Amino acid sequence: MQYPNRQKCESYVLTHSSSCYARWIVAGVILLSALGTIRPVEAAQDPRVKPAVERGLQYLRQYDLKYKPATGLIVYTLLSGGDAPESPAVQRGLALILKKFSGTETDLTYRPEQHHIYEAAIDIMAIEAADPEGYINQIQAIANYMIDLQLDIGAWYYPHITKEGEGDTSITQYAILGLWAAHRAGIEIPLEVFEKAATWHFRTQDKLGGFTYHPVLTSNGVYSKDRPIGTMTAAASGTLGIIRLILFRDLPTQPTKNKTVSNGPRFGVLEFQSPKKPGRNFRRIPKPIKPKIDSANERANRWLTIKFAENLVSEHRGFRYYYFYTLERASSVNNWETYGTHDWYKEGTNVLLPKQAKDGSWPEPSTRTTNHPVATCFTLLFLMKATQKLLPARKRPTRLGEGILAGGRGLPDDLSQVKFRNGKLQFKKEQTGDYDKLLAGLSNIDLSEADVEVKATDKKVDISDPKKLISNNKLLKALVKYSDPRVRQVAAWAIGQTDRLDLAELLIPLLKDDDLGVAIEARLALCWISRRPNGFNNPVDPLEQYEDSDVVIDKKKITTDWQNRVHKVWRNWYLNSRPYDTRDDFDDPEQIRFQK
């Protein structure tokens, strides 16, 4: 739904060792399969990209897999580039991964050889990309392995280290990416796994929005000897974006325009596609943590924007190419098209292409040649926009404010086609468009049914001029009591446009209206009149976070609980803020009734 008063409220806000290297190997790789079976990725329009990508893929096809920790990453990159699961290079890699399973076909045990969660995440990503149905038992075994290793605090750490860890941002990233791949394959993952991981990220983000490698939680907050860095900030924001997708099945809008956040479309909406195996239901409703995820990622976006130029040329402690793939992943899952004035893909491409070696690889600034295939994978996944290509296509949204769309069901963009005449709402019959359907049945409105007297002079009101409707208090009092909810919704919008505190009383009863759209419009109007854009921290629409979800919910209970909360807080606000000339509560029956 779209609500015209929502734009005003939002506008108000706007103005006011090998082991060490293995930590980076898997970064971001797992994300790519989560939204469906891997399909060949087309290179961008830049004519330099396609030949560079093909040279890099050919380098990986010829690699002998002597550096085993890179196996899953290479397999996944080749599949992302269009190689078939039956191709010789992919088959060599899959054979090495399948050797890590033991037991019967329906009771498999997975044991990584060297790098624990990192290796597990790489492996689950590769086999899910190759054949999610054929390898479903293997995927389940790896998922079980990773779930068992989650700490009580919500993070993951090295399982072979006996001391109690405070969590590792990099390892936690891999765990969530791997479990996301399992989720996409149809494996049921307990919701608390993702909720706990999100909460850990909320606690470990620094005040400026960055994330560090090894945060240490204390009673006074977060302390770490490491400073926030680009790779971990991009990784953590990508992880939170994945958790949002899993729990709520939607993608965020492009960050709104401010001094540090990118300048993309303010109200873009991405629609999440159906899962591979539709019909799966969560065991319960996820906790309402989406606003916290969005807030954390907005701060991460600001941090990455401020540091963008620095991170673009940094060698990132010897893992330069790893950063570029975390950047592509975070940007894609969070719908970040730019960072301030920086086009992340264009500027990243300009940095990466000149660094390709003659053999097609991208060598890290290191003398260890084993690192070259890993760096090459990260670079290719960036250049192919692998994560972004797997996300669903963006719909062209209906911009808020493009006409009075009361709850998405109200008046047309061309308001000159709609008038109040002789107490009736009328529109031209020859007018075509969606609004004809929206206003069907409203062509004969008799305002005499409302219990507020309407003067004869009020029976002809042209609402193509909003001032005439907004300034007509008697008419508004009649419209808020009209039987059709669409009329009440239009009235709620108009009261918000008056910007008058004394008329806010008309909106309070509408918060408990039988029609949710009316209640939402009334709340938005109150947000504007009161200059409280967050609406006492209640969501705009209580059902919005479940619209694209396969969660089974009790809509009536959720709606009723929301209406009771918003009615209570806004009723108290009005009683404390109303004009003094309306506070004659002992003598005024309307005020006595209202306070009850």
Domain residue limits, the chain: 8-16+29-392, 399-595
Q: Residue 253: what pLDDT?
A: 60
Report which of 43, 120, 32, 110 is spatially closest to residue 76, judged by C-alpha positions.
32
Region 175-192 average pLDDT: 90
Confidence of residue 369 (pLDDT cuts 50, 70, 90): low
307 φ/ψ angles, rounded to the nearest 5 degrees: -95, 5
**Whether 239 contacts 201, CB under 8 Å:** yes
What is the CB neighbour count within 10 angstroms for residue 152?
7
**Whether 369 contacts 18, CB under 8 Å:** no
Element holding 559 (H helix, E strand)? helix 555-577
Q: How far is CA 201 from CA 133, 217, 282, 300, in A?
A: 32, 11, 23, 11
| Lowest-confidence region among 6-10, 71-75, 418-422 | 418-422
Q: Residue 3: what pLDDT?
A: 54
**Whether 210 contacts 165, CB under 8 Å:** no
Q: Residue 453: what pLDDT?
A: 54
pLDDT digit string (tens) for 227-284?
A: 899 999 999 999 999 899 888 876 666 554 443 333 332 222 222 233 334 334 445 7
Q: What does the DSSP assignment read for 3-15?
A: -HHHHHHHHHHHH
Region 578-585 average pLDDT: 64
All residues at 6 or more sequence positions from 55 whose CB lies less than 8 Å from its CB, including other chains? 356, 360
In the chain, % of residues over pLDDT 90? 38
| Lowest-confidence region among 157-161, 497-501, 559-563, 576-580 | 576-580
* First-last CA distance in the chain: 32
Average pLDDT in the chain: 75
Q: Residue 410: what pLDDT?
A: 37
> Could you say which DSSP state residue 418 is in?
E
Q: Residue 396: what pLDDT?
A: 38
Q: How far is CA 564 from CA 120, 254, 572, in A?
A: 47, 32, 12
As a 3-state breakdown, the chain gives helix, strand, coil percent values, each rounded to 5, of 55, 5, 40
Tokens 């009020």 label which residue? Answer: 458
**Whether 58 contacts 360, CB under 8 Å:** yes
How far, in Å, CA of 480 to CA of 498, rounded? 14
Please determine, for residue 83, whether its predicted confidence score (pLDDT) is greater than 70: yes
Q: Residue 371: what pLDDT?
A: 75
> Could you say which DSSP state residue 202 is in?
H
Q: Residue 495: what pLDDT?
A: 87
Q: What is the Cα Rg of the chain in Å?
A: 28
What is the dotted CATH code of the domain comprising 8-16+29-392? Answer: 1.50.10.20
Q: Identify the residue with better confidence: 84 or 467.
A: 84
**What residues pair up with 221 in beta bridges, in sequence order?**
218
C-alpha torsion angle, residues 221, 227, 231, 236 (rounded to 10): 0
pLDDT digit string (tens) for 275-312?
A: 334 334 445 778 889 999 999 999 999 999 999 999 99
Q: Identify the residue with better confidence: 250 or 401.
A: 250
All residues at 6 or more sequence positions from 172 whose CB lies less than 8 Å from its CB, including other chains? 155, 156, 197, 200, 201, 239
All residues at 6 or more sequence positions from 51 whose CB lies less than 8 Å from its CB, including other chains? none
